[in-house]
A = this chain, B = another copy of it.
Amino acid sequence: MAALPPSLWAMTSSPFSSPNAGLIGVPGSRSRLATPCLVLDLKVFTRNLEVMADYAQQNGRGLRPHFKSNKCLEIARRQMAAGAVGICAATIAEVEVLAAAGIRGILLATPIVGSPRLARLAALHAAGADVTVAVDHPSMVAPLARIGAGGSKPLPVVVDFDLGTHRTGAATVAAAIALAGDVAAHPALRFAGVQAYAGHLQHVVAYKEREALGQAAHRRLREVVEGLRARGLPPGIVTGAGTGTHAIDSAADSPFTELQAGSYLFMDVDYDRVELREGANEQPFAPSLFVRSTVISVNQPDMVTTDAGLKRFATDGPMPHVAAGAPEGATYRFFGDEFGRVLLPEGAARLNLGDAVELVTPHCDPTVNLYDEYHVVEGDTLVALWPVDARGLI
């Protein structure tokens, strides 16, 4: 290989930090951002955060928001400061990141299975991390009890119950109750309650339809709760609920004691179609998360090519929506790994090379998972870079 010029050697000594770091606090810097980048509107985000915190409190529910949506410690800290009872995690790596930052009340909502993960949980529990785990199979109770015995307190465990998603969870009321009995029988474990997440209901668009399905799920869940009480095992918490069902699961007769929602912070094209509260005109949350892109080719009629393609958005849901920078009626389509196309309505003004287009993210969680940091803006100014701390960790 040819020798490297001294000036390039100098470049290698610094990590490849964000090219936008120098713009923090510079008025008008949003328009100067290197793209494609993930932009978080601080004002809208903060309002979303507060609306859900207030809603949970007013309805007598704990809020244990999900870290999997944002993977960002700065956000978890703000949620805790606004009254969250803890933070949910989807992976053991997320738990490690949260615990090392001093977050308490962590709930690993995914049943923990496999020697590598169990070894990491053992280290966390022995180190005093405040982590509750989920179990959905009797064969996992004994391994968890061994981990519990390695800490100064018993390991808290919730029983995961399947409300019909069929992804995880005990499949029957009897199986859930039996599992709770297994957990409670181990002195190194503390039976902490029940988890039940109706993932299949979150995106049912019509409120009334979602409510009816949610209430049917409540009836099944109440059978578990009542069965546990009858066995002398009243659940300390009944945890679940996402952004889609947060209102239904907060109703007076809902068995849920706490909400695990996460996407409400950002909203996205997926959730923005869902009637989140009764009556379509009362959407409580607004999109705060955008991908900012740049027009890089303009040689075709009625469309331009941008620098944000399917490596910069989740592609499992709808298309991103144009939020700003293109004429009314413009639409976005993926155009390969590295490119997007913005289709311009007939007669609309052309876009020029270098113009910026901002897009509402289609599905927020896997979109965030593609980026190393949030570009936090207030109006037209970049005010901070928040790392996506747990991105990609295994």
Residues of A within 8 A of B (CB): 1-5, 7-8, 10-12, 16, 18-20, 32-37, 68, 77, 80, 90-91, 93, 96-97, 99-104, 110-117, 120, 124, 126-130, 136-137, 139-140, 162, 166-171, 175, 199, 294-300, 303, 305, 307, 310-311, 314-316, 334-339, 341, 353-354, 365-366, 369-372, 391-394
- A127 vs B7: C-alpha distance in the bound complex, in angstroms? 5
Inter-chain contact B338/A110, CB cutoff 8 Å = yes
Inter-chain contact B11/A99, CB cutoff 8 Å = yes
Inter-chain contact B113/A12, CB cutoff 8 Å = no
Query: Which residues from chain B contact A175 at a C-beta distance below 8 Å?
Result: 299
Residue of B nearest to A336 (CB): B199
- A300 vs B353: C-alpha distance in the bound complex, in angstroms? 53
Inter-chain contact B4/A102, CB cutoff 8 Å = yes
Inter-chain contact A335/B127, CB cutoff 8 Å = no
Query: Which residues from chain B contact A115 at a C-beta distance below 8 Å?
Result: 32, 354
Query: Which residues from chain B contact A127 at a C-beta distance below 8 Å?
Result: 5, 7-8, 10-11
Q: List 17 A-B contacts (CB under 8 A).
A: A3-B102, A7-B126, A8-B128, A11-B96, A32-B116, A68-B338, A90-B338, A110-B296, A114-B307, A140-B353, A166-B303, A170-B299, A171-B299, A311-B366, A314-B315, A315-B315, A337-B365
Residue of B nearest to A390 (CB): B16
Interface of A: prevailing SS: loop
Q: Beyond the given A5-B127, A16-B97, A37-B394, please list 20 additional residue pairs across the A-B interface where CB-CB is below 8 A.
A: A1-B80, A5-B129, A8-B127, A12-B100, A19-B120, A32-B116, A35-B114, A113-B294, A113-B295, A115-B354, A166-B300, A167-B297, A167-B339, A168-B296, A311-B365, A314-B315, A315-B315, A315-B366, A337-B369, A369-B370
Query: Which residues from chain B contact A137 at a C-beta distance below 8 Å?
Result: 297-299, 353
Residue of B nearest to A104 (CB): B2
- A354 vs B80: C-alpha distance in the bound complex, in angstroms? 34
Query: Which residues from chain B contact A112 at a C-beta distance below 8 Å?
Result: 296
- A103 vs B371: C-alpha distance in the bound complex, in angstroms? 26
Inter-chain contact B5/A297, CB cutoff 8 Å = no
Query: Which residues from chain B contact A297 at a C-beta distance below 8 Å?
Result: 111, 113, 136-137, 167-169
Least Cβ–Cβ distance between A76 and chain B, in angstroms: 10
Residue of B nearest to A393 (CB): B16
